[in-house]
Structures are given as C-alpha cells and as structure tokens.
Structure 1
C-alpha cells in the first residue's frame, strides 16, 4: 500500500450563516501522518468529511493525488474511514465485518479470506475472526474497525475521533498501534482529535484549527516549543501566559527585572512550567533569576506542580520532577527561581 497526497485549495464550507471552514488550504504529503487538532466547532471534522465525500465544499477544491474529488461519491474515492462509534454490523462476525468492503468491490473469496486474515493479524486479532462485535471489548471493536478500513489497501486513511470513547490506558495503547500500522502500510493518514496528547504522540505534523482556519501547522515538538500565537501556546499543553510591558528594547515581565527583545505587536510571553526551575538547579550562564513565594503544590505522580506568586502579584506555575535531588517545598517559602532566556517565547497577542 502506498499513500497519495491530499490537497485542500481555498476550501470553504458554510451551513447557512455558520462558517465551518474558511478559505482552508493544506497539502498532506504521500505517506504522511497529519492530525487536525481543535476544539468542538473548529472545522476539523468538517474537513475530514469533505475528503471522505460525506459533505460537499461550498467553494474551493479538494484533490486526492492529482484528481479533484469534488462531486465524486464517497464510494468512488478509495479512502478508508475509522469512525468514533466503531460502526460495526452487530449481526456479522469480526471476519465478515472486515470482509465487507472487499465484498462490495467484488473481490474473490480466496483473496478475501487471505486479506481479512492479514488485516486481523495486523491489528493483533487473528484469533477473533468468528466472534460477534458484542463479545468484544471497546478496544477490540476499534481494532476491528481499523482492520476493516485498511483491508482494501486504500491510499488514504481517515480517522475521526476514533479513540475518544475509550479509557485513558486503552487510548494510549491504541495510539501506539495506529502509528505502528500507519508505518507498516504506508498510507496517508489524516487523524481528527480534540486531544492534544494524541496529536503530539502520533503525528508527523499537527494542524491546530480555530474558526475554520489553521492557526499553525508544524511538527509536534515545534508546536510545543515554539507556538506562533497565544491561541496555540494556550491550546497545546500547559503554559504560563504573561502579559508583558512594552519598554525600550522589547518587553518586560512584570515583577522580573529583565527585558526580552520583541517585534511590534508582540505583547505576550509563553513560559512552560517545566522550563522554570530552582535557580540552584539551573547552570546556564544566560539564565534569568527571580524570587517568588510558594502558594501551593499539586502532586502529579512523577511530577509536582507549584503555584508561585511574584512580589507584584503575578502568578506562575512551575513543574518539577520528583527524582534525583528533588526536595519538597513548603507553602509560604520564598524560592529563588530561574529560566533560560531562550525558553521565554514571545507571541503575537491573538
């Protein structure tokens, strides 16, 4: 199986007065795993439904490979789809469910049997062919849905919030499985989720959507470390968003006597909690130090989150690992803290 490119060119979608996608443009390369990430109403599922043929674009063009698929019915697009609710036929066995798209394509019986077994082995359900969906766990049913989506070897695989109904541990296991299967089959995978952890874990690139537009698209590490806007910084992970004071030469963090260079229009600083450390633990020569009072600590298992307050009232969160030289802090204690200058990300205020 080889993936093919998927391209949106200026796609808009309106439902009456509601704009679901607004001049949406994106190219997904062959074999790439791209996640559309956003809150409810951001346009991510609308974009996926337009690729799948379940919804029509109001304007613009969508291509799979070099072919425009506008007006092409969903069954003629040769894409695999994994739904949030599994969408399995309850009266059919696992093998019959997986075989269904092959039967619709008039594939021969012997080849169907071979492909179904190969697909079930791929999702590690080789011994479950005779069972009915009701006899499976939620995770097993989702694996069957995934096997059904890939059994006919589509060049494009679409997944719409397909892990959201599962518990945390099972979601994490299936994240690894889906990524493994993607790498194995080589299809172009487009995954829709509101869960930033899923997006960061699984994707080659993540497109953060808001209001039917892409706020930023990049590798997961770039999105996290170098968000382009306040919205992206706040949506991806947890961060301290600090309203800075414009001064000669840049921006000053209230309560911290230092100036950071900034471009016109930049007013907000993003500082991840794990980038703040006790000053004695940070050896960088170019660190920025300050003092704060501990308000409270929150146990997170492997880490502890501390809420601290600067002398001017600014509140910050820092996150410490509980291994090595970790020692607990007591509420009310004055603590010398620091961060590296390059870890303070200057953002446009939008």
Structure 2
C-alpha cells in the first residue's frame, strides 16, 4: 500500500480538501485556455516589408505606428508566424529578387534581435519546440514565384536561406495555366519540402497546382468568395480542391474581403469549414502594416485572436476543431510536406540546376 505521506491530497484524519480550481466559464476564458495549449499559427504577416522601410523600429514595445509587435502577438496567443516576403506593386523581375533577398535579411535580423521571443523555424518539429520553449516560431515565406525564371537555382538558394513557402501567383509559368516549367517547380518544391501558397492564383491555376502537388498546398490569406465575391477570395470549387488535396485555406482579417466585423470574419471561417472541412481551415490575418488599412472591428491587431476564438466557441465549435484551426492544420501541412520531401529523396536524386 502506498504511503499516505506520498499523497499530500489524500483524505485522512485532519486532512483538508484541496481548494477547488476556479471554474472557467466564459467563452473568452475558454479561448485563452485553448490558445495556451494550441496557439495561433498565423499564415500571413507583412511586418518584414514594413520594417524594411523603418529599420530601427523596436517590436518589443507596443507602438501605435504599426499593428504587430511582440506584446500583441503574445496577448493574442500567437505561437507561429509565417513572415510574408512578397513584394507589393509591379516591380521588374530583377527588382523583385533583390527586394526578396533584402526582406530575408530583415527577417533573419529580426529573429537574431529578439532571441527570447522569436526563433527561426524550418520544420514542424521546430514549430512545436518553439511553442514548448515559449517562443514564436518564425517561418520565412512565401517568396514570389516571379523570382524563378527558367532555372530552379533560385528555388534551391531560397531553400538554403531557410525559405519554406513559395507563392506562384504572378509568375509567367503560373499565370493562365501551369507551364511545363511550372510542373518542374511544383515537383522540386515537393522534393525540397517547400509549401506552395496559391494566394492570388486564378481559380483554374490553383486547382491545377493543387492537383499536381504531391504535398498539401495552402492559401495563406483569403476569404470565401461565396460570401463576398472579392477577386482575391477563394471559390467553393477551389475549397473542394483543397479538401481533396488535404490543403489549407487561411482566413484573412481584411475588411474589403471579409466585412467590417469580427462576426463577419467568423462567417467566412464557418463557410470554409463547411465546404473544405475542419482539417482544411486556418488563420492568415495579414497583419504587419501601418495604421490606415481597414480592419474588422475587434480584430485590428494580433491581440484580437482570443475574441475570435470566443466567438467561434459561442457558435458551437468543438474545441478539437478550434485546435485544428489555430495550430493543428498548419503543423499537419508542414509535416506532410516534410514527409513528401523525404519520400522524394528516396526515389530520385536532386536535378542538376544547369
């Protein structure tokens, strides 16, 4: 029989019952508890581009001049962040390459500057390890598909620098159809474990890439075209293709695409879950900008994530589905991409880049 001294809470003569833990009753309290175990893996933040314009900005301190900083990421329960390296506007191809490299440099410097809060992540295991150590996992990408021309060398170089996401939209090989070189890019991205981000792709192109890829694809910031026919929103046909490919549609917090309220954003999340399934919906807010971009009420910066999760709890979402929405689905896509890459390495050697 075990010694009662080893069980300090056992009931015996003169023993007192331990104080009961406070009940977690409100949806917001439940949301905070859920995010402590399953933090947000945010699929899109453009902070790196913004910091490129203001290199001496300190994100360790809240500042009204920008919507993303470490205190608000932590307040929102963000545990992983995909730093978008896309370049706004219609710059020439050579300018896109230099802009992308400069953003990679900014992102890596950001991680080095705040080692107690941020860490570079290359794998799904890195993502979990960062969460366990109380840090925010930082993934590099997507980078623009336009940086690739008729050679895969740039893709290899980006991978060596730590990039793990590529966005084909706007590339000549993925504008109206998937060109032969586009098929090579998809195959090589699969071999390297680089996730393809179909944000901005035409519906037909997105479906073709999703079908051609052996690993899951993502759409890192989007919303449901069925609720708002914005040209950047995703159609139900693409959502069904994502469901078939075990991909992931990550919902943005952009008033023009979702509506001007937290409730409207939740409607888009509900729709994507209904069409693509609970394993194919995530969050990609597209924060990281200076004030002025319209944001839904209640979701003006990353600290609003608990309010959104509370709204979904009030709508009857089971906590298991919410854990997939915030963390599980993003981690699963990364793990599947890594599995595909390992399998490809066993099948064939890397192609010669020249």
Structure that is richer in helix per residue: 2
- TM category (shorter chain) comes to 0.3 to 0.5
> Which of the two has greater strand per residue?
1
Larger Rg: 1
TM-score, normalised to structure 2, is 0.33
User: TM-score under structure 1 normalisation?
Assistant: 0.34
